[in-house]
Structure 1
Amino acid sequence: MYVSNNEISQPEDDTIVWKYLDLSKFLDLLLCKQLFMSRSDKFEDQYEGTFSEPTFEEIRKVSDNNPEFLDEYKTRRKNVVISSWHINEYESYAMWHIFTKNNEGLAIQSTIGRLQEALGPENRYDQYIGEVKYIDYKKEYLPFDNNFFPFLFKRKSFQYEREVRIVSDLSDHNLNINEGVKANVDIHRLIEKIYIHPKSENWYKNLVIQLMQQLGFDFEIEKSDLESDILI
């Protein structure tokens, strides 16, 4: 379901989203039929799950009379897990460079509607989908009347990510979460199309096609044309 609030953008079901990943992570997704969701405090950005300065000042006033209030927010970061996706009508050259290496890797093309269907009601975790809003953490207020808000806001420096997130709060599951958890997912609903790295060799594309055939998947596979020959 979506996180519903005026502060959070809600993409339409037909909004195109992408996930860029290497072959090993892609195969893990296919073989396990589970989507890896990273623990929120394991992301490179140390501000994940934290608050902007104006919000923190307000929270600090509240916590003066209730010290457990702030501790609860700090603990929640260890129990919230996230799967990040990139919103874009087209491929992103920048995302290829950031999330893949050695001219190898893949991009899963999907939609918001497909993500919702793929997660499904049978999943053991409750997931919430929200588009990340980018704000000035020194000046702008970040609402804290919803547990998911700290994980759906990021600093403006990260606007290039154009991120939409699947978020789960596993605080009530009594889990010892190390790097993250795997959530059940319907692979066929999740994946609409697969793109191969634009700078990859032909053998790499053939390898991916062969692996898909051996595993019994018939996804549409296409090599990215970002590096196609010029016409002049």
Structure 2
Amino acid sequence: MLKPSNRFTIELKRLAFEHFDSCTNCGHKFVEAEHYCSGYLANDEPAYLCDDCSGELTELAARIYFIPQPYEIPTANAKLWRYMDFTKYVSLLSSRGLYFTRTDCFEDIFEGAKGLKKNKAKWDSHYLEFFRSAIKNPPEGYRCELSDSEVDEQAQKLLSDLETGGEAHKRRTFVSCWHEGEHESEAMWRLYSSFLANAVAVRTSYQNLYVSLGRDPSIKIGRIKYIDLKKNYAGVNDAFWRKRKSFEHEREVRALLLDFKCQDLGKIVPCDLEVLIEEVFVSPKAPPWFVRLVNDVNEKYGVTVKVSPSELVEEPFF
């Protein structure tokens, strides 16, 4: 086995992100806790290989345990929508960047939550036992010489650190939220644009969103999973990918990134608008001249994209 070099080029990071759960050589699907290897072939080509294929590597970057992602990735052509008022749309064009909101700024107080406060005692009990067991059973070659009271004291500290870290995590996690659906959503117009006459909806796809953000492997894009917090908890690594069942109608796909330095309430991430924006739809409440205004603004900022009236304004016959 080669000695790990810990050299991770952007090409290797992208490959690992885009082929997260399978060997790039044989297509083998990884299972939880299985080993895999990332590294480089003879021509410095990045590779992401199962153990059976790892002998092809000339340089081993790292050998890692496979842990499934806490989110599901949409299909490449899955349609994604972002509903916004006109000022936010102009900001998107002028900054040529996508705004990511810090998660402690959302109205939903459960953003990033692990569970219901009334059920916290059960959560604490589980992790206290987990920490006690980890302290008492160190890796091979080490001995635990702590008394039971000292073990318990350290376990309590780890539990406290876990809770403090959860609160701090909200201030360094930034997300951009999208709605997944084949068609416009009347509910989303109401929810995210207040059904304003000067609102627009930008339509893209999963693949275009990913590519428009520079195929940046540090930005995770996936579906939110909706759970019943009366019966379940969100895992330590799952919390920002879980929401309450009452939000299921949102069908949210979010782009998420971590930033440990940014102190602002949000941040703008550079974005290729020509790739991102497939089509723009104007609010069902918009007057006819608003379509012309959106086209004029697009022209001003050098964005060539189709602008369409909402499909919801079509007239029925009886």
With the length of structure 2 as denominator, give the TM-score of the two structures.
0.66
Q: Distance in 2 between matches of 1:72 and 1:212?
A: 43
The yes-or-no answer on 1:155 pairing with 2:244 is: yes
Structure 2 residue identity aligned to 1:201: P
1:106 aligns with 2:200: yes
User: Matches of 1:44 and 1:194 in 2, distance apart?
Assistant: 26
Residues in 2 aligned to 1:117 and 1:51: alpha-carbon distance in whole angstroms: 31
**C-alpha separation between the residues in 1 aligned to 2:69 and 2:221?**
14
Q: Percent identity at matched positions? A: 28
Residue 214 of structure 1 deviates from its aligned partner by 2.4
- Higher mean displacement: 55-64 or 39-48: 55-64
Residue 185 in structure 1 maps to residue 271 in structure 2: yes
What is the CA–CA distance in structure 1 between the aligned matches of 2:179 and 2:257, rounded to whole Å?
A: 18
Matched, 1:217 2:309: no
Aligned to 2:102: 39
- Asked whether the equivalents of residues 15 and 87 of structure 1 are also in contact (C-alpha less than 8 Å), the reply is yes
Q: State the alpha-carbon separation in 2 of the partners of residues 201 and 180 from structure 1.
A: 32
Report the counterpart of residue 49 of structure 1 in structure 2.
112
Provide Cα deviations, 1:50-75, integer angstroms capped at 9, x if missing partner.
Answer: 10246843346656241222211211
Which string of whole-angstrom CA distances, capped at 9 and with x for unpartnered residues, describes residues 126-175 of structure 1? 2111100000112113222x3xx21110000100110001001112xx22
Shift of 1:9: 1.8
Structure 2: which 5+ runs fail to align? 1-16, 22-67, 132-154
One-letter code aligned to 1:157 = S
Partner SS for 1:137: coil
Q: Which structure carries more relative contact order (alpha carbon 8 Å, separation 6+)? A: 1
Higher alpha-carbon deviation: 89-98 or 133-142:
133-142
2:228 pairs with 1:136: yes
2:74 matched residue in structure 1: 11
Instruction: Say whether residues 1:195 and 2:281 are aligned partners.
Output: yes
More displaced 10-residue stretch of structure 1: 7-16 or 90-99: 7-16
1:87 equivalent in alignment to 2:180: yes
Q: Does structure 2 retain, via aligned residues, the 8 Å contact 1:60–1:70? A: no
Q: In the alignment, residue 270 of structure 2 is paired with which amino acid? A: N
Residue number in structure 2 paired with 1:169: 258
Give the aligned length. Answer: 224
- The structure-2 alpha-carbon separation of the partners of 1:168 and 1:7, relative to structure 1 and needing over 3 Å to count, comes to closer
Once residues 197 and 120 of structure 1 are traced to their aligned partners in structure 2, the CA distance between those partners, rounded to angstroms, is 30
Contact 1:20 1:95 (8 Å CA) reproduced? yes
Match of 2:24 in 1: none
- CA distances 1:10-45 after superposition (whole Å, capped 9, x unpaired): 211111100000111001011101111101011111
SS in 2 for 1:176: coil
Are 2:113 and 2:234, in contact at CA under 8 Å, matched by a contact in 1? no
Query: Could you tell me which residue of structure 1 aligns to residue 189 of structure 2?
Result: 96
Q: Would you identify which runs of 4 or more consecutive aligned residues in structure 1 move more than 6 Å?
A: none
Matched-pair contact (CA < 8 Å) for 2:99–2:176: yes
**Structure 1 residues not aligned, in runs of 5+:** none
